[in-house]
Structure 1
Amino acid sequence: MSADIKGDNQPYDDINITPMLDLAYVLLVTFIILTTASVQGVKVRSPQTQAQNNLAKPQTRAVTITADGAVYLDAYPVDMRQLHDTLAQYKSANPNLPVVLKADAAAQYDKVMEVLETVKQLDITEIGLVTKRAGSDGG
């Protein structure tokens, strides 16, 4: 019997790494989920409306106008010329390019009209205005 006990106390020649790999995979999946869950964009306070539209479409481009009049295309600051050129490139790749305009409620009306005029020049017909439903909070 004592010989059997001695045999059980022998050192291992190899290390079982399966539990360590399981932990690594769980951490990797958690990291991927957490990094893709954060939404990129520019925060603005949208005007309120009673209508509810679902504007989420693939390859939708977002034009954002902040309260101070700065214009962003997909969270990147642009001037009106850059906006026109970039949207023209997207339009050539996708003739039915959907665009959403997300303007702060305090944004200057002429800046909103400039963006709408640029979109009209490019013959982009699928455009939506992002609003906040009345009674909801946040921005």
Structure 2
Amino acid sequence: MQVQGKKPYNEINITPLVDLTFVLLIIFILLTTAAVQGIKVDLPSASSAKTLNAPKSRVIAVTNDGTISIDAVPVSLAELESELRTSIATTPDLAVVLRGDRAVQYDKVMQVLDLCSKVGVPSLGMASTRPPASSGPGGA
């Protein structure tokens, strides 16, 4: 006996699949752009700056208002210490790059440097920009 009004489906409804695909695409785009962007820091310039070629590194940024962040995530000094200890435990040859804003209080940068020394960071570098090349002693 067959139920009246019910007939078997002979095609697949792909609307839910398309909705799911778009939702996953939007989530992927949002997470990727959030991970790529860092903290905006106005770096000081140095004429003898060298490039760091470390495969495993963490970036600590100190903004001009004194906010400290590690890999673009704002943290307190206690959280930074915990994060650095964990990173050094898993990666003994960890390199840390300190990006201090040129207008930040010197005390904040010294607190971060002291903390890095305290936890035993094996390699520490300070980020800077290169000054613009001058056209010679006479200018122009």
TM-score, reference length from structure 2? 0.68
Write the letter of the residue equivalent to 1:44: V
Write the letter of the residue equivalent to 2:81: H
Residue 93 of structure 2 is matched in structure 1 by 96
Write the letter of the residue equivalent to 1:39: V
Please report how far the alpha carbon of residue 39 of structure 1 lies from its aligned counterpart in structure 2 after TM superposition: 3.5
Decide which of 70, 73, 76 is 1:76's aligned counterpart.
Answer: 73
Residue 131 of structure 1 is matched in structure 2 by 128
Please report how far the alpha carbon of residue 51 of structure 1 lies from its aligned counterpart in structure 2 after TM superposition: 1.3
User: Deviations for 1:26-82, whole angstroms, at most 9, x for unmatched residues?
Assistant: xx9xx99xx58x832101100011013111422210000000000000000000000
Matched, 1:111 2:108: yes
Residue 41 of structure 2 is matched in structure 1 by 44
**How many pairs are equivalent?**
104
Rg (Cα) greater in structure: 1
1-side partners of 2:61 and 2:53: how far apart?
15
Structure 1 segments (4+ residues) deviating >6 Å? none
For the aligned residues, what is the CA RMSD?
A: 2.1
Same amino acid, percent of matched pairs:
38
Q: Which runs of 5+ in 2 are unaligned?
A: 1-24, 134-140
Matched, 1:86 2:99: no
2-side partners of 1:88 and 1:40: how far apart?
24
Aligned to 1:105, the other structure's residue is in SS state: coil
Residue 136 of structure 2 is matched in structure 1 by none
User: Deviations for 1:69-116, whole angstroms, at most 9, x for unmatched residues?
Assistant: 000000000000000000000000011110000010001101000000
Q: Which runs of 5+ in 1 are unaligned?
A: 1-27
